[in-house]
Amino acid sequence: MKLGSILLGSILVATMAQTAVAKDLVVGANLGNVPWEFVNKDNQNAGFEIDLAEEVGKRLGRDVVVENIPFNGLFSAVQSGRIDIAVSSITITAKRLESVSFAQPYYDSDQSLTTRSSNGVANLGEVKGKIVGVDTGSTGDMWISERKDEYKPKSISRYEGLAPAMLDLAAGRIDAYISDIPAVQYYIQDKPQYAVAERIPTGEQYSMMLAKDAPLVAEVDSILTELKNEGFIAKTHEKWFGFPAPETSSTVELRPLPGK
């Protein structure tokens, strides 16, 4: 009888432990992606998507644990179940939808060509023979890689985040950098040594990425609907970017579940 009680007690403890673990919402993020997700001067996680993830976790009744993962590692992390959600201004693409799922988009974006203010690269037509930097596995990486024959860069240098690429750009180790325009504009607003030479229209949309067809996809999508209807995402946009999101953007308007 005592043995049975001990076994029953052990099972209950194990079940409670599993329940406690299940309450954590593990969010993967490339914590160097200002203003989306980064570590602030108080050594705390901050940013547009950190605020969004925290609110999603709150409405799911789960504590949010953020794991710092390089951008290119986020895809395998959600596929393996290491994390529940990935954020890092991740663009929804048809190719990515073959292996992962996304909730509805909440930000509309394009790519950009960033250069040193004084280095003479004025537009994409002038990257011929130059070294171009990109974030590994990003849509900027895909964009220029698919157009190497058209623009003829000398080489493509790949980075794990915006900050190291921008440092190399300032030092002259690369001549230009192709990346998401909102992050670059935020980063260079007080750095006159850089300039966005050209906006590259790509019509991208960002959202939270999850494992393919995971039950959590519908839950997160439903919460994003609530947050748009309540104006939470629009207010978060204004907090981080300093201006209102366009009324017709996916930050404000509801969008269908991608791939459905």
In the chain (260 residues long), the average pLDDT of successive 10-residue segments reads 48 47 87 94 97 98 97 97 97 97 97 90 95 96 97 97 94 96 91 95 97 98 98 97 93 95
Q: What is the pLDDT of residue 14?
A: 47
Cβ neighbours around 203 below 10 Å, total = 8
Q: What is the pLDDT of residue 242?
A: 87
Pull the structure tokens for residue 254.
Answer: 């509801």
Fold of 13-106+207-241: D-Maltodextrin-Binding Protein; domain 2 (3.40.190)
Q: Does the pTM exceed 0.85?
A: no
Fold of 109-204: D-Maltodextrin-Binding Protein; domain 2 (3.40.190)
* β 194-206/107-116 pair status: antiparallel
What residues pair up with 25 in beta bridges, in sequence order? 64
Give CA–CA dist 147/248, Å, rounded: 31
Give CA–CA dist 89/140, Å, rounded: 12
The reply to whether domains 13-106+207-241 and 109-204 share a CATH topology is yes
Q: Residue 259: left if φ>0, alpha if ψ -120 to 50, beta else—which one?
A: left
Taking the domains of the chain in order of start, what are their residue ranges? Answer: 13-106+207-241, 109-204
